[in-house]
Structure 1
Amino acid sequence: MQISCVGGFGSNSHMYKINGTANINAIRAASEKGVKRFVYVSAADFGPVNYLLKGYYEGKRDAEAELLLKFAFGGVILRPGFVHGMRRVGSIKIPLWLIGSPLEMVLQHAKPLSRIPVVGPLFTPPVNVTSVAKVAVRAATNPVFPPGIVDAYGILRYGKQK
C-alpha cells in the first residue's frame, strides 16, 4: 500500500513538478514494485480558481490520470477542498480550524449550492486533516474500499465511520 500527499505551491512550473511529476513518479515506481493499493490526496475542483493555480491543478489532474491508469482496481483519489487543523510553519502554529471548522459545519449541508454553475465549487466544504488521514489509511488498508474518486462529501462521510 502507498499513500501520497505530496503537494505544494509556487510558480506554475514548480507547482506542476511537485503536484504532478513527483506524484506520477511515485505512482509509476509503486506500480513497478507490485504495490496493490495507492491512495493519492489530490484537491477538489474550485472552478475559476483552477486557472489561477494552473500548475497546481494540471499537476494534480495528470497525477490522477496516471493513478487511474496504473491502479485501475486499487487506486483511490481523495479530493478534499480546504483542509483545516493546526498548521505549523517553523515554530509558529496557525489554527486553520478556527476558520475551517465553522465553514465545514455550514457547508457540509449546502451540497445543492455546489452545483451552481461557475461559483458552485466555492461551496465545497472544508475537511479536517484528521478526517483526510483516517480516510486515506482506510482506503489504503481496507481491500474492499472502492477504488475511484472520493470527493469532500465522501471524505466527511467516511471520516465519521468507525
Structure 2
Amino acid sequence: MYKINGSANVNAIKAATEQGVRRFVYISATDFGLVNYLLRGYYDGKRYTETELTSSFPKGGVILRPGFIHGTRKVGKINLPLSIIGAPLEMVLQHAKLLTKVPLIGPLFITPVHVSSLAKVAVRAAIDPAFPPGILDVYDILQQSRQIST
C-alpha cells in the first residue's frame, strides 16, 4: 500500500515538477484515528505524498481529504451502489461535525462525500488559479462543491 499511495504518487509529483506543472491536486484521505494504525501503509503513503506535495507545490498544491466516498463502484461486472449507504449518512452526518471530536469514536461520524462532489472540487482546484492551495477536509469539500453547483 505504501508503494502505491506513497512512492508512486511522489514520483508523479516529481515528474510534474520537472515538467513545469503549476498546480497539482491530490486526493488523500481523512484521519480516521485507529483505522490509520490498522492500515498503516496506506495512510503513511498518503502522508508521505502530502509532505512532498506541500514542499514541491507550495503555491499550487491542493490536498483533498475525503472520508468515505460514495457513488456507484464497478467491481468486475457488478455495480455496487455505495450511495444506498453513503447518501443518507451524508445527509445526517454533515450536520454532526461536533461528534467527530469525541475521543476514539469521533472519526466514525465523519460525513461521506459523493464522488461527483469530490470530482467537481478536484477539477476546479486543478484549473482555477484563484483556488487557494492547501488542505481541504470533507467539510471544506462539501462547501466548495455547493459553491460550484450554485
TM superposition score category, shorter chain reference: over 0.9
Question: 1:93 aligns to what SS in structure 2?
Answer: strand
Encode CA deviations 1:67-94: one digit per residue, 9 max, x unaligned.
0010011000000000000000111100
The Cα shift of 1:133 comes to 0.3
Q: Does 1:26 align with 2:12?
A: yes
The Cα shift of 1:120 comes to 1.3
Q: Does 1:122 align with 2:108?
A: yes
Q: Does 1:109 align with 2:95?
A: yes
Encode CA deviations 1:112-149: one digit per residue, 9 max, x unaligned.
11111222122110000000100000000111111000
- Aligned partner (choices 32, 41, 52) of residue 38 of structure 2: 52
Q: CA RMSD in A?
A: 0.7
Looking at structure 2, the residues matched to 67 and 118 of structure 1 have their Cα atoms a distance apart, in angstroms, of 29
Aligned partner of 1:10 in structure 2 is none
User: Aligned residue pairs: how many?
Assistant: 148
Question: 2:25 aligns to what SS in structure 1?
Answer: strand
Question: 1:157 aligns to what SS in structure 2?
Answer: helix
Q: Which runs of 5+ in 1 are unaligned?
A: 1-14
Q: Does 1:149 align with 2:98?
A: no
Q: Which runs of 5+ in 2 are unaligned?
A: none
Aligned partner of 1:100 in structure 2 is 86
Instruction: Give the alignment of 1:34-45 within 5 angstroms.
Output: 34-45=20-31
The Cα shift of 1:23 comes to 0.4
Shift >3 Å, 4+ stretches: none
Looking at structure 1, the residues matched to 97 and 132 of structure 2 have their Cα atoms a distance apart, in angstroms, of 22
The Cα shift of 1:33 comes to 0.8
**TM-score, normalization: structure 1?**
0.90
Looking at structure 2, the residues matched to 34 and 122 of structure 1 have their Cα atoms a distance apart, in angstroms, of 40
Aligned partner of 1:85 in structure 2 is 71
Looking at structure 1, the residues matched to 53 and 31 of structure 2 have their Cα atoms a distance apart, in angstroms, of 17
Looking at structure 1, the residues matched to 145 and 107 of structure 2 have their Cα atoms a distance apart, in angstroms, of 21
